[in-house]
Amino acid sequence: MSGRILSIARPISWPPETIKNEFGIATLSLGYSKKHKLEPRLRAAAEAGYKWIDLFDECWEAYLEEHGLDGSRLWEDTPENLEVAQRLGDLVKSLGMRVACTQPLRKIEGVKDAHERTATLELVAKRFPFMRAFDTDLVFMCASIRADAGVTTDLNVVARDLAELGDMAASFAHTDGGRMLKIGYEGLSWATRNNTWSTSWEAVRMANRPNVGVVIDAFNVLAVEWADPYNSALHGRIYSTLEEAIEVLCLSMASLVKTLPAEKIFFFQVGDAACVDPRTFQPPKDQDTPPLLPWSRVHRLFPFETALGAYMPAELVAAAVLATGYTGPMSLEIFNSAFDSHRETVPEKSATRGMVSLKKLSEVVKQVPPFWDTPQQVAIKDLVHIYSSNRQS
């Protein structure tokens, strides 16, 4: 992987007069597939005003089963499966929305054994015909959580795998004549190594493929750089004071603005989480379960839902991402036990809650000063004020 990515970071003038990024939402943030069929969730999203849908594997699997097909073979490109995929893509478009991406790809990169590696990368390629049917160009993978001897977290190996996936996607697109397919790489907060935006960007930069980029997830950024749900001081942060927590986060986000080109951000997800009480919310006893996993799976919230315990500054991550010039969707990815309910109102209420949250985020982001260009001692005081004033119950 020689050469370099020629694109460079070009931050935009700040603040923008308007936030033009369209809104999206993950299918699992509208209700869980075992309790709610996909079509009613999609209709709830459309009625709330979303333009983009982040299609989760579980939801596509359940949709196949609704049509009498084997959900466990969700990426087998049989005529029957592809027909249902086309039907789903058409349904989404008929509602005035688009499928932004399919996800998640898990435990893909870093496989040592050559035969296992080939088979694992082929799991990604199996999605390509379905992406055409859904009319989406993006699939993204989470940084691997495997820690066994069969994988490596060596960044050179990860970059090699990303590059090969990019080549496989490009080859498919060149063969069928459709638009380029893209691979997004996300720094998952509980991943074995590449759990930050900066390490995922480094892997993408080293892969050096135009159709390989990063996925930035505000929750996963904040879960590593801001939050400690098990902190005995009960404030849920890594750092003891709000000022220090904001300053450290802003140093990272300033680096993002100045180093990450907008065109290499393939997708931006937004999420918050509850500040839990570690006296009752304990780390998992199973040593193989990452400590952040149960918090992420049960206690995520839409940004600014302070009354429910939301406390993370998603607006600072959003401001940094938008300041790069990113023009894609702002999409909600929330997991919460509230979605795991048979109540028929879950999709509608979830869609409404999310839309309220995104509209507020769009307004609050414009209040954020360009801390990436501002002397820290001036910016931190203003940022603490913005953070506090927008979280008054």
Q: Say how many C-beta atoms besides its own lie within 10 A of residue 12's C-beta.
A: 15
Rounded to the nearest angstrom, the gap between the alpha carbon of residue 129 and the centroid of all alpha carbons in its chain is 23
User: What is the number of residues in the chain?
Assistant: 393
- Domains in the chain: ranges and CATH: 23-389 (3.20.20.150)
What is the pLDDT at residue 288? Answer: 77
Residue position matching structure tokens 């790069």: 324
**pLDDT tens string for the chain (393 positions)?**
444 555 788 899 999 999 999 999 999 999 999 899 999 999 999 999 999 999 999 999 999 999 999 999 999 999 999 999 999 999 999 999 999 999 999 899 999 999 999 999 999 999 999 999 999 999 989 988 888 899 998 999 999 999 999 999 999 999 999 999 999 999 988 887 778 999 999 999 999 999 999 999 999 999 999 999 999 999 999 999 999 999 999 999 999 999 999 999 999 999 999 999 999 988 888 877 888 888 988 899 999 999 999 999 999 999 999 999 999 999 999 998 888 888 899 999 999 999 999 999 999 999 999 999 987 777 899 999 999 999 975
Please give the model's pTM, rounded to 2 decimal places: 0.95
Tokens representing 320?
């940094």
The contacts of residue 288 (CB under 8 Å, 6+ apart) are none
> What is the C-alpha separation between 299 and 317, in angstroms, rounded?
19
Question: Of 309, 126, 333, whose CA–CA distance to 216 is shortest?
Answer: 333
Q: For position 393, what pLDDT does the model report?
A: 55
Tokens describing residue 349: 């209420």
Q: Which long-range contacts (CB under 8 A, 24 or more apart) does 241-248 make?
A: 242/384, 242/387, 242/388, 243/380, 243/384, 246/313, 246/316, 246/380, 246/383, 246/384, 246/387, 247/376, 247/380
Alpha carbon distances (Å) from 268 to 8, 218, 254, 362: 19, 8, 17, 14
Amino acid letter, residue 251: L
> In angstroms, rounded to a whole number, what is the distance separating the alpha carbons of residues 326 and 103?
21
Q: Where are the alpha helices (DSSP H) in 53-194?
A: 57-66, 79-94, 114-125, 128-134, 155-176
The predicted structure's pLDDT at residue 336: 87
Q: Assess contact for 313 and 246: CB atoms under 8 A.
A: yes
Q: Which residues does 112 contact at the CB level (< 8 Å), separation at least 6? A: 150, 151, 152
CA–CA distances in Å: residue 323 to residues 25, 236, 237, 264, 376: 21, 27, 25, 13, 17
Q: Where in the chain does DSSP place strands (E)?
A: 23-26, 52-56, 98-105, 138-142, 182-186, 212-217, 265-270, 272-273, 300-301, 330-332
CA torsion 164-221-195-121 (nearest 10°) is -30
